[in-house]
Structure 1
């Protein structure tokens, strides 16, 4: 049996604070979602001015990244390259860039999803949050 790291509340708070700092540094109004390895919501933070729909999109991006064990952009690229049938994949809704898995020793322990600005900027915020874990 293997051992695996898990996100603790202190980790979640640190990731959220670093992601928030990146967003505020750039004056980006976003929603930040953090999920565990099963895609279950651990944190949801909607910054002032973030569009209401972002509170639905950010968790969906995080869920997709956690379950897929890869950035949600991968799925967006697959669809944009013409594989429209992928839209019917079960249990995956956030197929837009901005969901980034949290990997520790090659294992996915969760993910961060961000929504509210350009998708590449959403991903930038998510990665800044994850970077605090080292």
Structure 2
């Protein structure tokens, strides 16, 4: 019998904090303040930062973008396209699915280890900042 236990890789706290710092720099370079959330491979919050000037709604949006991205290993801007498909459209009623740009899965050595969610700019700005942060720390796939 094979082992009934599967090990799950997840992002370390140190890497999550480094990703937060790079995401903050990427947002600042684009001219906006943001809330940034990093989840582990199971979608649980691992690291978090909210800029002083962003609306409180960005808190849940950033967390849910990271959760959505890690749930299937897909960027949240891709979810927007999938929601147009009748077979997937019912997922739009799930309270945490956030099909708006700014959430990206985090991969390391081909394994899904977490998600990043950014909220504060436009969906394009949020996505670009997340992508840049992942590139800078070597976690972009």
Counterpart-to-counterpart distance in 1, 2:29 and 2:64: 24
Match of 1:19 in 2: 23
Q: Which has the larger radius of gyration?
A: 2
Q: What does residue range 32-111 of structure 1 map to in structure 2 within 5 Å? A: 32-79=36-83, 81=84, 83=86, 84-88=89-93, 90=94, 92-111=96-115
Q: TM-score, normalised by structure 2?
A: 0.83
Runs of at least 5 residues in structure 1 that lack an aligned partner in the other structure = none
Judge conservation of contact 1:14–1:129 (CA < 8 Å) in 2. no
Task: Determine helix, strand or coil for the equivalent of 2:43.
Answer: coil
2:130: which partner in 1?
A: 126
Whether contact under 8 Å (1:14, 1:132) holds in the other structure is no
CA contact (8 A) 1:23 1:30 kept: yes
2:127 aligned counterpart, secondary structure: helix
**1:31 aligned partner:** 35
Q: Which ranges of 4 or more aligned residues in structure 1 deviate by more than 2 Å?
A: 1-6, 81-86, 90-93
Instruction: Give the structure-1-normalised TM-score.
Output: 0.87
CA distance in 2, matches of 1:92, 1:53: 13
Query: Cα RMSD between the aligned structures?
Result: 1.9
C-alpha contact 2:34 2:120 (8 A) present in aligned 1: yes
Q: Following TM superposition, by how much is the alpha carbon of 1:77 offset from its aligned partner in structure 2, in angstroms? A: 1.4
